[in-house]
Amino acid sequence: MAKLKSKFVCQECGYETAKWLGRCPSCEEWNTFVEEFESKGNDPKSQRGISKGVIEKINNITSTKKERISTGSMEMDRVLGGGIIKSSLILVGGDPGIGKSTLLLQVADHAAKQELKVLYVSGEESGEQIKIRADRLGIGDGELYVLAETNIDIIIEYVEKEKPDLLVLDSIQTIYSPQVASAPGSVTQVREVTSMVMGMTKTRNMATFIVGHVTKSGAIAGPRVLEHMVDTVLYFEGERHFSYRILRAVKNRFGSTNEIGIFEMRDRGLIEVENPSEVFLKGRPLDAYGTVVTAAMEGTRPVLIEIQALVTYSPVGFANRVTTGIDKNRASMLIAVLEKKAGLSIQSSDIFINVTGGLQIKEPACDLAILCALASSFKEIPVDFKTVLIGEVGLTGEIRGVNSIEKRLLEAKKMGFERAVIAEANAEISKEIKNMEIIPVNNIRQVMEILF
Ligand code: TYD
Ligand code: MG
């Protein structure tokens, strides 16, 4: 027998070397190299169903409108770009215990109820365990089949025999190909199995979900390797101790990646949250200083979020800066603007900024709110709780207009806000909004005069 060729693969990012290294030169993680063996597999390209060697004029290629299957959840459909596309491969990543299996079992059940044949393959749980979960979720009618198996060859055999429309593989780390000598879950295995599944998905006109656990640094094992192989990558996130979960598309060949879906984990499964603003404003203190509300856009949807800041005296020589949910550099910039352009001497204080509900905001439209939360905490003066703040802040202290202002204001109005402080550049369009006091501003000095 020919000697198997060995290589060392970083389990974080998939970087390969001929000899063992302590630290990965690509992702800079320590102690992530594991010895793996070359697969005896076939040409991965042909397995992925990519047609080779045909040259065609782009206008002559017919593009059929892809058929989409509803997942039964409006939130999930939106994240996918309007439902599941047939012959697409979707990776769902997330921390262990976050609810991936629950979500996919619910999706599988819904598809089965629409007369589709669904095969749910679990490498983690026995058929009985899946049944117990299904009973708890109150599901299980229709053409939903389960298979507890980890060998990809056997799984492929079943798929060929049963011809499902939807296949779920839970999880990719437990499934292995006997042709590969490396352990299940290793980069080589995960890559090989994904490539086989990709080929099968493309040729069979079925849709496949694969579940991937996230490793300590927040990436799916074989992460970048997997992400570029599949059509769509969704992350299921949330704090395990809170019941809210966010489904986010980070890559989507068939839709936008801006959308998020919000779910709540109840004792009978995941329920979609139709009004996220209500969730993110729940429990908000009404007369405290250091808290304000802004309207952010999550994809096409406006969401109201609370931003909190705490500015305190720093007893040590250097100031402590902690931000959760917003970029630290952006926060530093806003602190500097506040110091220089509004005359607040906060640079030497300890500063903590928090976006409640575990959301990450990247939009400059939230600048004004962050700035006002800081000023409110520093001055110990609350901002009126029925006021929403929307605007980008520039380095000269100017307040700039933002996109989708109407949508944001309408959402605020819907949630009972009576006043909005916005950029003058947005004032014209905002006239359409009835029964809401609009306060246009130009620079942060003006904002300080109005609010404090
Ligand atoms: P699970 O879907 O097994 O997570 P993952 O597949 O991502 O590892 O869900 C795990 C948690 O969800 C578990 O701690 C129990 C909880 N859970 C509920 O709260 N309600 C439910 O209806 C179900 C099925 C699970
Ligand atoms: Mg699971």
pLDDT band at 279; cut points 50, 70, 90? confident
pTM for the whole structure: 0.76
CATH label of the domain that carries residue 100? 3.40.50.300
Mean pLDDT of 156-161: 95
* C-alpha of residue 130 to centroid of ligand 1, in Å: 11
Residue 426 φ then ψ, to 5°: -95, -5
CA of 96 to the centre of ligand 2 (A): 7
Where b means 16+ CB within 10 Å and e means fewer, 227-257 reads bebbbbbbbbbbeeeebbbbbbbeebebbeb
Q: In the listed set 241, 274, 307, which residue is the last one of a domain according to the structure?
A: 274
Please identify, by atom number, the ligand 1 atom nearest to the C-alpha of residue 265: 19
- Residue 115: the pLDDT is 84
Ligand 1 nearest-atom number relative to CA 268:
22
Which ligand places an atom closest to the C-alpha of 133? 1
Taking a C-beta distance cutoff of 8 angstroms, is the pair 272, 106 a contact? no
Q: Are 424 and 442 in contact (CB under 8 A)?
A: yes
Mean pLDDT for 148-157 is 95
pLDDT in tens, 109-139: 988 988 889 999 999 999 899 999 999 999 8
State in Å: Cα 64 to ligand 1 middle: 38
Do 295 and 407 lie in one domain? The reply is yes
**123 alpha carbon to ligand 1 midpoint, in Å?**
16
> How sure is the predictor about 424, in pLDDT bands with cuts at 50, 70 and 90?
very high
* Nearest atom, ligand 1, residue 133 CA: 24
Q: How many domains does the chain have?
A: 3
Out of 154-163, 306-315, 409-418, 426-435, pick the least confident: 426-435
Residues 269 and 294 in one domain: no
The answer to the question of residue 326 being in a domain is yes
The mean pLDDT of 94-104, rounded to a whole number, is: 91
Work out the average pLDDT over 298-317: 88
Looking at the fold, whether 28 and 110 belong to one and the same domain comes out as no
Regarding whether 189 and 324 lie in a shared domain, the answer is no
What is the mean predicted confidence (pLDDT) over 306-331? Answer: 91
Is residue 202 within 6 Å of ligand 1 at its C-beta?
no
Same domain, 263 and 372: no
One domain for residues 306 and 259 = no
**How distant, in Å, are the alpha carbons of 79, 104, 207, 265, 271 from that of 73?**
10, 11, 17, 14, 9
Same domain, 84 and 196: yes
Boundary-marking domain end, from 213, 244, 274: 274
Q: Average pLDDT for residues 149-175, to the nearest whole number?
A: 94
Q: Which of 121, 265, 267 to mutate to test the pocket of ligand 1 (most atoms within 8 A of CB)?
A: 265
- Cross-strand partners of 392: 400
Residue 320: how many other CB atoms lie within 10 Å: 12
Looking at the CA of residue 170, tell me the nearest atom of ligand 1.
Answer: 6
Is the pLDDT at 255 greater than 80? The verdict is yes
pLDDT at 288 over 60: yes
Whether 104 maps to a domain, the answer reads: yes
Ligand 1 contact via 173 beta carbon (within 6 Å):
no
> Residues 256-276: what's their mean pLDDT?
87
Note down the domain range covering 100: 69-274
pLDDT of residue 47: 47
Protein residue with least CA distance to atom 12, ligand 1:
99
429 — pLDDT class (breaks 50, 70, 90)? confident
Please write the tens of the pLDDT for every residue from 189-213.
888 999 999 999 999 889 999 999 8
Ligand located closest to 136 CA:
1
Domain membership flag for residue 53: no
SS3 of the chain: the string is CCCCCEEEEECCCCCEECCCCCECCCCCCECCEEEEECCCCCCHHHHCCCCCCCCCCHHHCCCCCCCEECCCCHHHHHHHCCCEECCCEEEEEECCCCCHHHHHHHHHHHHHHCCCCEEEEECCCCHHHHHHHHHHHCCCCCCEEEEECCEHHHHHHHHHHHCCCEEEEECCCCCECCCCCCCCCCHHHHHHHHHHHHHHHHHHCCEEEEEEEECCCCCECCHHHHHHHCCEEEEEECCCCCCEEEEEEEEECCCCCCCEEEEEEECCEEEECCCHHHHHHCCCCCCCCCEEEEEEEECCEEEEEEEEEEEECCCCCCCCEEEECECHHHHHHHHHHHHHHCCCCCCCCEEEEEEHHHCCECCHHHHHHHHHHHHHHHHCCCCCCCEEEECEECCCCEEECCCCHHHHHHHHHHCCCCEEEEEHHHHHHHCCCCCCEEEEECEHHHHHHHHC
16 is written with which tokens?
């390969």
The answer to whether residue 414 is domain-embedded is: yes
pLDDT for the residue 2: 55
Identify the pLDDT of residue 49: 47
For residue 100, the ligand 1 atom closest to its alpha carbon is 7
Tell me the percentage of the chain whose pLDDT exceeds 90: 52
Looking at the structure, tell me whether residues 195 and 215 fall in a common domain.
Answer: yes
pLDDT at position 153 over 80:
yes
* Backbone phi and psi for residue 151, each to the nearest 5 degrees, phi listed first: -85, 120
223, pLDDT greater than 60: no
pLDDT at residue 299, rounded to an integer: 77
Could you tell me if residue 63 is inside a domain? no
Paired tokens of 241: 């101790």
Question: What is the position in ligand 1's atom list of the atom closest to the CA of 124?
Answer: 6
Instruction: Note the pLDDT of residue 28.
Output: 84
Is 57 part of a structural domain of the chain?
Answer: no
Identify the nearest ligand to the CA of 95 by its number: 1
Q: What is the pLDDT of residue 144?
A: 92
Q: Read off the pLDDT of residues 8-54 as tens digits, 9 standing for 90 and up.
A: 888 877 888 889 999 988 888 888 888 887 655 554 444 444 556 77
Q: Are 420 and 368 in contact (CB under 8 A)?
A: no
* 213 touches ligand 1 (CB under 6 Å): no
Interior angle at CA 160, CA 157 and CA 161, nearest 5: 90
CATH for 422: 3.30.230.10
d(CA 207, CA 168): 9
Percent of the chain exceeding pLDDT 70 equals 93
Regarding whether 283 and 258 lie in a shared domain, the answer is no
pLDDT at 368 (0 to 100): 97
User: What pLDDT score was predicted for residue 224?
Assistant: 61
CB 204 within 8 A of CB 164: no
The response to whether residue 98 sits with its C-beta less than 6 Å from ligand 1 reads: yes
Two tokens at 190? Answer: 């995960």
Q: What are the tens digits of pLDDT across the range 51-89?
A: 567 788 888 877 766 778 888 888 889 899 889 998 899
267 in contact with ligand 1, CB cutoff 6 A: yes
Q: Are residues 267 and 284 in the same domain?
A: no
Is residue 259 located within the same domain as residue 283?
A: no
Q: Which of 101, 102, 209 to mutate to test the pocket of ligand 1 (most atoms within 8 A of CB)?
A: 102
Do 370 and 409 have their domain in common? yes
Ligand 2 centroid to 111 CA: how many Å?
A: 19
Tell me if 265 CB under 6 Å of ligand 1.
Answer: yes
Crossing angle of helices 100-113 and 127-137, in 10° steps, is 80
The yes-or-no verdict on residue 1 having pLDDT over 80 is no
Among the listed residues 11, 8, 10, the one whose alpha carbon sits nearest the alpha carbon of residue 215: 11
Instruction: Determine which of 287-291, 353-357, 382-386 has the lowest per-residue pLDDT on average.
Output: 353-357
Highest mean pLDDT among 215-229, 254-268, 330-344: 330-344
Asked whether residue 139 is assigned to any structural domain, the reply reads: yes
> Domain boundary residue among 245, 274, 303?
274
- 238 located within any domain: yes
